[in-house]
Amino acid sequence: MTEKERFRKFVRNGFRKDEELGIPYHLYCLAHAVLIAVPLGFIVSAVFYAMDLRDLYGTVYAFNMGVIVFLMFELDIDWRIEKNEFLPERVSKLQWVIRILASVLVSGLFFYFHETTVIQQFVK
């Protein structure tokens, strides 16, 4: 199998609905990456702001982290599919809601730190 055929298979299979996950695994990887990268972006942004740096660093960090995590999930799933070891568990709606709420809570907490001087007292 050539690299071109392998890439086509990867893309084609990634957008099909996986019966175990309940959603396409590209979407699954993207959701995981966003739920990890957004809170980290807020944390880094709050710390950089406390050190008198600009907010753009947190945004760039969140974007880079999101891309890296997304690619890690994609490569891991692709590797498991090739080895026939891919046994995903269906994630319930409650688990997704809990993950989203945790992401929002962490982001909100560090947004609050960003807007107040709480973190500035610890950094300086």
pLDDT, one tens digit for every residue, the chain (124 residues): 677 676 666 666 666 666 666 667 777 777 777 777 777 777 777 666 655 555 556 666 667 777 777 777 777 777 777 777 666 666 677 877 888 888 888 777 777 766 666 555 565 5
**Nearest 5 degrees, angle CA 98-CA 104-CA 107?**
140
Q: What's the rounded Cα separation, in Å, for the pair 124 and 117?
A: 11
Amino acid at 33: A
For the entire predicted model, the pTM comes to 0.51
Domain coordinates of the chain in residue numbers? Answer: 25-123
